[in-house]
Each structure stands twice: as structure tokens, then as C-alpha cells.
Amino acid sequence: MAKTIFYLASALLVTSFSPVYAQSTSQQGQTQAAQNTSQPGPTQADLKALTDARIGILKAALQLTPEQEKYWPALEEAIRARAQTRAQRIAAVAERQAQGGQVDPFELLRGRADALTQRGANLKKLADAWQPLYQSLDADQKRRLRVFAARIIPHVMDALGADRMEAYDEDDSD
């Protein structure tokens, strides 16, 4: 079963990136290529595709019943909000690094405090969205969720070079 979920995760990850790049025109592709060479790490499109893949894999792994589906939109919204906030923090750090110059340590501390406050609010929203769905899951769904959290997410994150993102953020997987 774990192999099946892993192969499903791999397939979804690979297929989720193709449409993102296929939609680009040649001029947009050249612009994105220029951004990729100047900025190491994942682009905003990569992070969005990763979030979409993670959500798709999670939903496929859980195999929700029609009764459980009513809890899904709130959870998906919380996951996306958390991912968007994280992407914004990563972009802000990259922008500060690109500007160079002196770093004000007090501004850095205040910015970190604001980021932690926002992260706490997003985590609370995520917990509030997860709780009713988790309580409705059967034993098989809970087992698949554990497999997803323990085995699939680390592989997906490694595929995009999560070690670079960890330098920007202390965030754990959803």
C-alpha cells in the first residue's frame, strides 16, 4: 500500500509541473528562465505546483466519503493560505538578500516576530480545519494519513530542494 501511495505521489508531482510550464508562451518561458538563473531555488510557480500536488495527493490518499467531503474546502483553504504565507516569507527573504547592504538586527527581530505571529494564526486555522475531518476518518484513512505525513511529504519536499527553503523558514509539513 505504501508503494502505491508513493507511486501515486510521484506521478502527481511530475504531472502537476507539466501544465504550469506548458501554459507559458515562449516569451514568458524566457522570462522565467532568466529568473531561474538569477534566483536559486523554487519559483512561485514551483511552490504553487507543489502545494497543488500535496493537496491532490492528500485527497487521493484519504479517499473521502461524501459525508467527509463537506469538511474538505475549509482544510484546503487553510493549507493554501499557509503555503501562500510561507511563499511570501521566502520571497521577502530573497528580496532582502538581493538588495544586500546592512541588516538592521532590530528590524530583523520584529519581522521574525510578525512572521511567527502569522504562522501561529495559520497553524490555528489549519488545526481548526483538520479537527472535524480527522474525527470523521476511519482507521484505514488515519493510517493512510500517517503514511502520507511520514513518507510522502519528505520525498515531495526533497524533490524541490527543501534544504534551501529550510534556510528561509523553520516550517514543518502540514
How would residue 41 be classed by pLDDT, with cut points 50, 70 and 90? low
What is the pLDDT at residue 99?
78
Q: Which grid coordinates are listed for 144?
A: 493512510
**Whole-number Å distance between alpha carbons of 159 and 32:** 19
Q: Which grid coordinates are listed for 168?
A: 528561509
What is the pLDDT at residue 42?
73
Q: Which grid coordinates are listed for 13?
A: 508531482
**Whole-number Å distance between alpha carbons of 142 and 119:** 25
Please say whether the beta carbons of 57 and 136 come within 8 A: no
Total residue length of the chain: 174
**Containing H/E element for 95?**
helix 72-99
Q: In this structure, how many other beta carbons lie within 10 angstroms of the beta carbon of residue 41?
A: 17
Give the pLDDT confidence of 100-143 residue by residue, as tens digits.
767 778 888 998 899 899 999 999 999 999 999 999 999 999 99
Give the pLDDT confidence of 56-89 residue by residue, as tens digits.
989 998 999 999 999 999 999 999 999 898 888 8
Task: Give the alpha-carbon dihedral of 133, 13, 125, 74, to 10 degrees.
Answer: -50
Please say whether the beta carbons of 8 and 60 come within 8 A: yes
**Whole-number Å distance between alpha carbons of 31 and 135:** 46
Give the pLDDT confidence of 137-163 residue by residue, as tens digits.
999 999 998 888 887 667 666 655 554
What is the pLDDT at residue 4?
55
490518499: which residue's cell? Answer: 61
